[in-house]
Amino acid sequence: MNMATSPRSLSRTYLFVPADRPERFVKARASGADAVIVDLEDAVAPEAKARARDALALALDESGPLVVRINAAGSPWFEDDLKLCRHPGVAAVMLPKAEGIDAVCTVVETTFKDVLPIIESARGLHEMDNIARVPGVVRLAFGSVDLALDLGIDCAPDGAETELLAFRSQVVLASRLAGLAAPVDGVSTAIDDLQRLQADAERARRLGFGAKLCIHPKQLAIVQAVFTPTPERIDWARRICKAFASAGGAAVAVDGQMVDLPVVQRARAVLRDAGLSA
């Protein structure tokens, strides 16, 4: 399965669930998330890693495959995590702290699964262009919290993370140059601040991200709505495409604005994002 092949099938919401809480797996699958990420890394204490992996192994089901965030390369749990990810119930592997092609290639060659590397360190940013071009990588994810920590960035308490704007744009650019799907933005940690979540998701969409990591089911509806074209936007795109076709491919005015090929291509992208034909 290559998650980058069809815009219609691309996930917009990725919901984390701790691997040591198997009673939550069923609820996560039923939450409406496009993809569920079972987390073997940050959500699980070191002494619980092996038990969490065993619990996940029992819960994996080919009929409802899950994304698995494994532990980072070089950790004591990396190799055992990779062995588990060969299971047909694993849809893709999320690789944290991706900092070079060696670890990414190891994941691809060991698991034979799609890989979503998380860019969350200075070295990861430096190696990002090479990471994005590894065959088997389908999408980059942005690890905002860990990146800020690694770079010594103290984001303002308003939650807007303007200090990370340049790095978000780099992830979008690297994804585009490598021909990958639009990347996945990092988490919004304030679970109950839905207004902040809305602003975070809209910022990500405007910057060129195509999805967002979520840490609670209550975040899903807002994120899904932000990354789904509105009926008004779809109507605009249809009118643009129709007018351009009627003009035989020449520039034309729509709603008092000039429409040429770049505008039409933007309209076609909106329709593709909505699963519609131009």
Q: Is the pLDDT of residue 273 over 90?
A: no
Please give the average per-residue pLDDT across 65-90, as a whole number: 97
The residue with greater pLDDT, 184 or 265, is 184
Neighbour count for residue 84 (Cβ, 10 Å): 20
Residue 250 φ/ψ region, left for φ over 0, alpha for ψ in the -120 to 50 degree band, beta for the rest:
beta
The one-letter code for the residue type at 237 is A
pLDDT tens per residue across span 91-116 = 999 999 999 999 999 999 999 999 99
Q: Is the pLDDT of residue 2 over 60?
A: no
pLDDT tens per residue across span 16-40 = 999 999 999 999 999 999 999 999 9
Which pLDDT score, from 0 to 100, does residue 8 have?
A: 36
The residue with greater pLDDT, 17 or 271, is 17
| CA distances in angstroms from 92 to 49, 151, 252, 268, 277, listed in the order given | 19, 28, 44, 29, 28
Write down all domains in the chain, each with its CATH number in brackets.
7-226 (3.20.20.60), 231-273 (no CATH)
pLDDT tens per residue across span 249-267 = 888 888 888 888 889 888 8
Which pLDDT score, from 0 to 100, does residue 4 have?
A: 37
The percentage of the chain sitting over the pLDDT mark of 90, rounded to a whole number, equals: 76
| CA distances in angstroms from 211 to 7, 44, 70, 190, listed in the order given | 12, 24, 20, 18
Question: Sorting pLDDT into bands at 50, 70 and 90, what band is 183?
Answer: very high
pTM reported for the whole predicted model? 0.88
Residues 173, 183: Cα–Cα separation, whole Å: 10
Give the three-class secondary structure for 31. coil
The percentage of the chain sitting over the pLDDT mark of 70, rounded to a whole number, equals: 96
| CA distances in angstroms from 275 to 7, 34, 169, 188, listed in the order given | 7, 15, 25, 27
Which pLDDT score, from 0 to 100, does residue 252 have?
A: 86
Residues 186, 215: Cα–Cα separation, whole Å: 10
Which pLDDT score, from 0 to 100, does residue 81 have?
A: 98
Residues 127, 175: Cα–Cα separation, whole Å: 13
3-state percent breakdown (helix, strand, coil) of the chain, nearest 5: 45, 15, 40
Please give the average per-residue pLDDT across 110-130, as a whole number: 98
Residues 244, 136: Cα–Cα separation, whole Å: 37
Question: Sorting pLDDT into bands at 50, 70 and 90, what band is 278?
Answer: low
